[in-house]
Amino acid sequence: MTTMSKSCMHLHFLILVLLFCRVSPSSSTFLYNNPVVGLVACRPHQLQALTQFKNEFDTRRCNHSDDFNGVWCDNWTGAVTKLQLRACLTGTLMPNSSLFKLHHLRYLDLSGNNFISSSLPYEFGNLNRLEVLSLSSNGFIGQVPSSFSNLSQLAYLVLSSNEFTGTFPLVQNLTKL
């Protein structure tokens, strides 16, 4: 095969991929029913972590017509940057949850889920790119972990309607709130 024909094949493939992609300049929604878009938008290991995360919970209240509704991935890196799974998960959020493999998250909304008297895992502090974190009405108990002081990019934080105890003195480190 000549170099010219290889170039034409690559160009045709690229055009085909672009025709199937309906994405915005900075991020896209993973469309479960269209594997071509999924392959372009989200890295396989990110999709695996998302699937593992959802499998950690009872998801009967979730929208199963589109398993990845509420998931956005960066078009350039393929990393999951936004996750919005409201009011559909039931179970215990464990410190070793696959959620904490999604290090590129900038937006996380897990409000209204039933995390059955879970403590907030310390590992939330490892998601240090978060700009928005909404964990309201989840049944969390105990103290807010000191690792939250690592979330220096946070501009929006909602922890209301949980059963937290103690103080939250680390707010001074969260200067963008």
> CATH no. for residue 152?
3.80.10.10
C-alpha to C-alpha distance for 36 and 164, rounded to whole angstroms:
43
How remote is the C-alpha of 70 from its chain's centroid?
Answer: 8
Mean pLDDT is lowest, of 2-11, 65-74, 83-92, 112-121, for 2-11
Residue 3 domain-assigned (yes or no): no
Beta strand ranges found along the chain (DSSP E):
27-29, 71-74, 80-84, 107-109, 132-134, 141-142, 156-158, 163-164
- Model pLDDT for residues 42-54, shown as the tens digit of each residue: 999 999 999 999 9
40 falls within a domain: yes
% of the chain beyond a pLDDT of 70: 75
- 76-98 pLDDT per residue, tens: 999 999 999 999 999 999 999 99
pLDDT at 12: 37
**Number of structural domains the chain divides into:** 1
Distance of alpha carbon 30 from alpha carbon 35, whole angstroms:
9
Alpha helices, DSSP H, located in 106-155: none
Residue 1 resides in a domain? no
Q: Does any domain span residue 5?
A: no
| Residue 110 structural domain | 11-17+24-173
Q: Which positions ≥6 away from 20 have C-beta within 8 Å?
A: 34, 36, 37, 40
Q: Are residues 152 and 133 in contact, defined by beta-carbon separation less than 8 angstroms?
A: no
Q: Does the structure show a pLDDT above 70 at 62?
A: yes
Residue with tokens 């996750």: 83
In a domain, 39, yes or no: yes
Residue 4 lies in a domain: no
Is 59 part of any domain? yes
User: What CA–CA distance (Å, rounded) separates 157 from 134?
Assistant: 6
Question: What are the Cα distances from residue 111, in Å, to 8, 14, 108, 161, 168?
Answer: 49, 39, 9, 10, 20
Is residue 68 predicted with pLDDT exceeding 90?
A: no
| In a domain? residue 134 | yes
